[in-house]
Amino acid sequence: MFDYLVMGMILHEELTGYDIRKRIEMGVGHLYKASPGQLYPALKKLTGKGLLTLREQMQGKRQKKYYQATEAGKAAFLAWLSAPYDPHADADHYLVKIFLLGELPQDLRRQRLGEYEGILRGQLQGLDAIEKQLPTENLSDRNYYEFASFYYGYQTLQIMLRWIGHIRAEKPLSAFLQGKEEEK
Amino acid sequence: MFDYLVMGMILHEELTGYDIRKRIEMGVGHLYKASPGQLYPALKKLTGKGLLTLREQMQGKRQKKYYQATEAGKAAFLAWLSAPYDPHADADHYLVKIFLLGELPQDLRRQRLGEYEGILRGQLQGLDAIEKQLPTENLSDRNYYEFASFYYGYQTLQIMLRWIGHIRAEKPLSAFLQGKEEEK
DNA sequence: TCCCTCATGTAAGTAGTTACATGATTTC
DNA sequence: GAAATCATGTAACTACTTACATGAGGGA
């Protein structure tokens, strides 16, 4: 997965490892980290597989290594991004796929987002079922915080759904942030 | 961290490994998994360290193993939970700590939640600074989805802050879900 | 001059998943 | 009598973090 995220950064541009890390950090950094100990070995491995090209350049006394995806690399990346969402394999990485979704043609994009929306709705229903079974009386302190965590998860799912709906309709992003749009 | 989560489940109750897994799944499961390959070795290790007691019981032909925290286990757990939040060490585990917060006396609880709120506010300011630098014109498809992910992260942080504010005031949980409470 | 950011990388360790193996009990 | 759930566990693997090591370039 991480490999594809890296490749996604260098489809159209030559970048150094350092640049790639910065990009990832700014983009999905709050949710997903790219430590140097993970990135540099990955770049080496991907180059070895022929998915990246490496161009070394001296800048003064400083060695810089520019990487870019090869045709094989681009093909592998697109195959991965185009594949239907699999809740089993992708669970933690939806956000990363969506982050990169601009690389896909519009019809595929719509389809993937639709699938994802369906999966999330299913999860929300699952939480609804649990919620109905939660006791509402005689709550201990313990229960209060346990349930609070549950509700937080619930809320997060709702936001995610609203978010997917928003970007599926390709509405302007600023409108999403305000959060004051009409409810479904 | 995982060790403390496990201990938190068996402070006041004897439970089997299976029960513990179920509890964790229901409580923070959407955010944090407890696979058997992680849990069973952990139970063994913690028992070896004297932090848990183990009582074996045959139920018909079925062997069941009941675990509970020892005094040493409870002390270790409380020390961990009482410690000030450290964004460096705890980053991914705030939610787990909050999930267990009912075990702490009220004044400490308040204090920890307050610290956490401060940290989150700082993060939000960081994102604000980034947001101001994002271009708003001539956005490519690529940018749309990249920024969308950014805004999602932003929104999630806002929700988290609202959530912390909510539980810090110990307001009823149902009110949080509706999301139609007054903004600060 | 000192510190920050740029820039590359490795070694050792921790955390966590997946897949398997086994078998009892309960429910349809 | 089949399927789901209860119940325990291991081995192999993958993913990821932390801490270290090294040094250039730019700005205060």
Phi, psi values for residue B57, rounded to 5°: -145, 135
Res B178: pLDDT: 61
- Gap from A35 CA to D20 C1', Å: 14
Å from A61 to nearest chain B CA?
32
CB B42 within 8 A of CB B51: no
In our burial notation (b when 16+ CB lie closer than 10 A, e otherwise), range A114-149 reads eebeebbeebeeebeeeeeeeeeeeeeebeebbbbb
Residues of A in contact with B167 (CB under 8 A): 144-145, 148
B67: which strand partners? B15, B54
Report the pLDDT value the prediction gives residue A154, as an integer from 0 to 100. 87
SS3 B12: coil
**What is the distance in angstroms between the Cα of B55 and the nearest Cα belonging to chain A?**
25
- State the pLDDT at residue B99: 93
**Among residues A54, A55, A52, A49, which one has the least CA distance to residue A70?**
A52
Contacts of B176 in chain A (CB under 8 A): 148, 151, 155
pLDDT reported for residue B180 = 43
Mutate to test the interface with B, among A101, A107, A149, A157 (most CBs of B within 10 A): A149
Residue numbers in A near B130 (CB within 8 A)? 26
**What is the C-alpha radius of gyration for chain A, rounded to an integer number of angstroms?**
21
Q: What is the pLDDT along chain A (184 residues), one digit of tens a residue?
A: 899 999 999 999 999 999 999 999 888 887 788 899 999 999 999 999 999 999 999 888 888 999 999 999 999 999 999 998 887 777 778 889 999 999 999 999 999 999 999 988 888 888 888 887 777 777 788 889 988 888 888 888 898 999 999 999 988 887 776 654 444 3
| pLDDT by 10s per residue, chain B, length 184 | 899 999 999 999 999 999 999 999 888 887 788 899 999 999 999 999 999 999 999 888 889 999 999 999 999 999 999 998 887 777 778 889 999 999 999 999 999 999 999 988 988 888 888 887 777 777 788 889 988 888 888 888 898 999 999 999 988 887 776 654 444 3
CA distances, B72 to each of A149, B144, B180 (Å): 27, 53, 44
Residues A130 and A91: their CA atoms lie apart, in Å, by 20
DSSP secondary structure letters along B15-33: EEHHHHHHHHHHHHTTT--
Cα gap B169→A19, rounded to integer Å? 43
**Cα–Cα distance list, B61 to A139, B57, B64 (Å):** 37, 10, 10
What is d(CA A53, CA A47) in angstroms, rounded to the nearest whole number? 6
| B62-113 pLDDT, tens digit each | 899 999 999 999 999 999 999 988 877 777 788 899 999 999 999 999 999 9
Q: What is the pTM of this model?
A: 0.89
Instruction: Report the distance from CA of residue B61 to the C1' of nucleotide D1 in Å, as an integer.
Output: 21
Cβ(A67)–Cβ(A95) below 8 Å: no
Asked if strand C contacts A16 at the CB level, meaning under 7 A, the answer is yes
Question: What pLDDT is attached to residue B37?
Answer: 94
